[in-house]
Amino acid sequence: SGQHFPHPPGRRPVVGDVLGADPAQPLQSTMRRAGGLGPIFELHVFDQKFVFVSSAELAAELADESRFQKALSPALVALREFAGAGLFTAYNDETDWALAHDLLRPAFTRDSMRGYHPIMLAAAQELFDSWDAGTGPVDVAADMTRLTMETISRTAFSHDFGSFSRAEPHPFIPAMIAALRAGQRKGSLNAMPGSALMARRIDKRNAHHQAYVDRLLDDIIAERRAEGAAKKDDLLGIMLDTPHPQTGEKLDDLNIRHQILTFLVAGHETTSGALSFALYYLSRNPALMATAHEEVDRILGPDRDAEPTFEQVPKFRYLRRVLDEGLRLWPTAPAFARSPRATTTLSTGHVMRPQDWALVMLPMVHRDPAVWGPDADEFDPDRFSPERSRGRVAHSYKPFGTGERSCIGRQFALHEAILVLARVLRRYDLTPDPGYELRITERLTLMPEGFELWLSPRR
Ligand code: HEM
């Protein structure tokens, strides 16, 4: 049954290493238990085996595309319940992956961001209007999530969820979250006794959420088809109208629904987490905030309502470093799985077979003192200055994944996050609650929990 790896003490029959794990914080509890286990270790959860990679050196080895490829971890297999063979959850050899990747790639180039730029700015303005009309502190993660959800839905399929004009989120959003959670809960049952019965119960309870989500998206697709001539060049338009340049193939309607769900899920919490961590660290470090303010004021000028142009966005070098450093400590998509293409022996001497997979634990890889030094746990954006980045070990920083299956939305996320950060910092002085200590919730992504900021207009 494959290679054995080191595991924490206290393994029990049947349940394996489950005792000592925190089901609400699987990532953080695994990080706490990893001490002394070395660069690769395992946890048994009932009869399911999880293998984790924690060193930069081994992560770099697994990034070698000639030897390894993306694997679907149990969490991603569970997500297929919801997102089918969408880009994120497709198996490498599924034809829909290659087709969708080829069709959608052009919509994610830097040049395509030019079209999304005004949409991103408009969504940000709506958030600021809602802030200006409100009183009291803002819940940073919740508001960044409203913003990134609105941005991705408007850019991807020109649909406005009206997130800023409603007191409650659009009913699609809780339905989507419930359907997602149901898939995850089913996935986590896999290895447990009595799981078939529990899975049926979850399905039954989730049916109306899933039906609501499916109907809303199918209506949007049908409506767009009916519009015919009035083509839009958003992602939905590309998926509906563009045949593959070589094969002439198009995506079918079910796959298009899965792709939309994929973009909604993959495209919003990750970016909102990145923004939230950046705001957390800046608001807690006056010296770093001063540097960020200096950059923002220099580029945007004296008007607190100035909006960055498309060309200005890449000029916010310091904001980019702040985001990079936040994603180093708290990579919001915290792990991805790799499998060997053929049976292979790792540099550690362990053997992996094609049916085996290992999760690259990004928060551990990104804090490996061999690469990041003894102060690896400290937030220091200047690590990403050109001087200090030069010569850094390849593949030691992978917040957007690796290889052919790495993040298609990287440019999109960075463009959006820099633009939003620039406007927030130009517009507001941010005051955190001095008593707040960083707590991190784990859903599919990482997010600061209960983090609030007081805003006052900045002149
Ligand atoms: C893939 C992270 C934003 C869409 C990935 C992967 C990571 C990642 C780690 C690889 C997963 C794996 O190997 O299993 C992030 C982070 C983001 C972000 C940290 C923000 C800071 C976005 C956005 C979009 C997006 C904005 C869409 C607009 C996707 C898709 C894939 C993907 C479709 C699958 C690509 C494929 O396999 O072909 N992302 N992502 N992501 N991401 Fe992102």
Can you spell out the DSSP letters for 60-128?
HHHT-TTTEEEE--HHHHHHHHHHTT-TTT--TT-HHHHHHHHHHGGGGSHHHHHHHHHHHHHHHHHHH
Q: In one letter, which amino acid is 353?
A: R
Q: Has 172 been annotated as catalytic?
A: no
Interval 8-41: pLDDT, tens: 998 998 888 888 888 888 899 999 999 889 999 9
Minimal-distance CA residue to ligand 1 atom 43 = 407
Distance 406 CA to ligand 1 centre (A): 7
State the distance from the centre of ligand 1 to the C-alpha of 169, rounded, in angstroms.
Answer: 24
Asked whether residue 42 carries a pLDDT value surpassing 90, the answer given is: yes
pLDDT tier for residue 82 given thresholds of 50, 70 and 90: confident
Q: What does pLDDT average to over the chain?
A: 92
pLDDT value at residue 267: 85
| Spatial CA neighbour of 273 closest among 401, 441, 407 | 441
CA distance 417 to 410: 11
The ipTM estimated for the assembled molecules is 0.99
Question: Is 53 strand, coil or helix?
Answer: strand
Across 77-83, average pLDDT: 88
Give me the catalytic one of 145, 148, 262, 270.
270
- Kindly state the average pLDDT of the residues 89-111: 91
Model pLDDT, residue 229: 59
Confidence of residue 193 (pLDDT cuts 50, 70, 90): confident
Would residue 412 show up in a list of annotated catalytic residues for this protein?
Answer: no
Instruction: Read off the pLDDT band of 96 (50, 70, 90).
Output: confident
Q: What is the model's pLDDT at position 1? A: 59
Task: Assess whether the C-beta atom of 148 lies below 6 angstroms from ligand 1.
Answer: no
In this predicted structure, the answer to whether residue 357 has a pLDDT above a threshold of 80 is yes
Say which of 407, 412, 445, 451 is annotated catalytic.
407
Pairing assessment for the beta strands 351-352 and 344-345 based on DSSP bridges: antiparallel
Asked whether the predicted pLDDT for residue 191 surpasses 70, the reply is: no
Atom of ligand 1 nearest to the CA of 90: 37
Q: What is the pLDDT of residues 383-399, one digit of tens each?
A: 999 999 998 999 999 99
Q: Give CA separation, 457 vs 132, 229, 454, in Å.
A: 9, 45, 10
pLDDT tens column, 426-447: 999 999 999 999 999 998 799 9
Give residue 322 CA to ligand 1 midpoint distance, Å: 19
Our answer to whether residue 400 is catalytic in this structure is yes
| Range in 36-40, 87-91, 221-225, 321-325 the model is least confident about | 221-225
Residue 409's pLDDT band (cuts 50, 70, 90): very high
The total of other beta-carbon atoms located within 10 Å of residue 406's CB is: 14
Indicate whether residue 364 lines ligand 1 (CB < 6 A).
no
Strand order in the sheet with 428-432: 138-139, 452-457, 428-432
Dist. CA 233–CA 120, nearest whole Å? 16
Residue 2 reports pLDDT greater than 80 = no
Question: Could you tell me which residue, 207 or 312, shows the higher pLDDT?
Answer: 312
- Of residues 169 and 130, more confidently modeled: 130
> Measured from the CB, is residue 128 less than 6 Å from ligand 1?
no
The torsion angles phi and psi of 249, rounded to 5 degrees, stand at -70, 150
174-178, 187-191, 290-294, 444-448: least confidently modelled range:
187-191
What's this model's pTM, rounded to 2 decimal places? 0.95
Tell me how far apart the alpha carbons of residues 313 and 310 are, in angstroms, rounded to a whole number. Answer: 6
**Could you give the angle at which helices 317-329 and 253-284 cross, rounded to 10 degrees?**
100
Distance CA 356, CA 354 (A): 5
Question: Please, how many CA atoms are within 13 Å of residue 112, restricted to the half-sphere of its CB?
Answer: 18
pLDDT at 230 over 70: no
Give me the pLDDT at residue 402, please.
98
Sequence-distant (6+) residues with CB within 8 A of 256 are: 221, 236, 239, 240
